């Protein structure tokens, strides 16, 4: 297997400072601030948003793989991951991750699709890595 890396640099104090997140592959570099992380304001991205992107991408690939393994053709998998950050015991904590996915796979019935979607939710690498928070799912089979 492989090792993936990312770098973070922060300068200044918590509320007035700013940072940069850089993927080891060089595919992304972005600014983040206290405001972009905790106040839903402008100023860049945040670690939780990057977790959401990673989870949406991982889940989409897992669904495609599991459907392919079951002999189904997949036209598309579109997933949004919503990461909720709340105060728990005075600390900012990821409390839920909600996956919402729309899949187009001709000839697939909804019962089998729901089973595959649940398996993908449980088995994707990011879901397993983030097993602490509740990870919920809405999966919709689009007609192809």
pLDDT digits (tens, 9 = 90+) for 82-118: 999 999 999 999 999 999 999 999 999 999 999 999 9
N-to-C CA span, the chain:
35
Domain ranges of the chain: 6-38, 49-142
pLDDT band at 72 (very low <50, low <70, confident <90, very high): very high
With contact defined as beta carbons under 8 Å apart, do 95 and 88 qualify? yes
Query: Across residues 18-43, what is the average pLDDT?
Result: 90
State the chain's mean pLDDT as an integer.
Answer: 93
Classify domain 49-142 by CATH number: 3.30.300.20
Asked which of 11-20, 35-44, 75-84, 99-108 is least confident by mean pLDDT, the reply is: 35-44
Share of the chain above pLDDT 70, in %: 99
DSSP category for residue 125: H
Structure confidence at residue 144 as a pLDDT band (50, 70, 90)? low
Nearest Cα to Cα of residue 84 among 104, 99, 98, 68: 98
What is the predicted pLDDT for the residue at 2?
Answer: 86
Confidence of residue 143 (pLDDT cuts 50, 70, 90): confident
């Amino acid at each position: 297997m492989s090792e993936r890396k990312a770098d973070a640099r922060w300068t200044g104090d918590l509320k007035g400072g700013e940072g940069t997140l850089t993927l080891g592959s060089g595919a992304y570099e972005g600014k983040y601030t206290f405001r972009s992380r905790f106040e839903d304001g402008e100023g860049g991205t945040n670690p939780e948003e990057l977790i959401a992107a990673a989870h949406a991408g991982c889940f989409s690939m897992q669904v495609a793989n599991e459907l392919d393994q079951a002999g189904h053709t997949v036209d598309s998998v579109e997933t949004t991951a919503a990461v909720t950050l709340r105060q728990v015991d005075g600390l900012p904590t990821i409390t839920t991750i909600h996956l919402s996915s729309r899949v187009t796979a001709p000839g697939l019935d909804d019962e089998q699709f729901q089973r595959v979607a649940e398996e993908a939710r449980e088995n994707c690498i990011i879901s397993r890595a983030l097993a602490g928070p509740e990870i919920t799912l809405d999966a919709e089979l689009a007609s192809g």
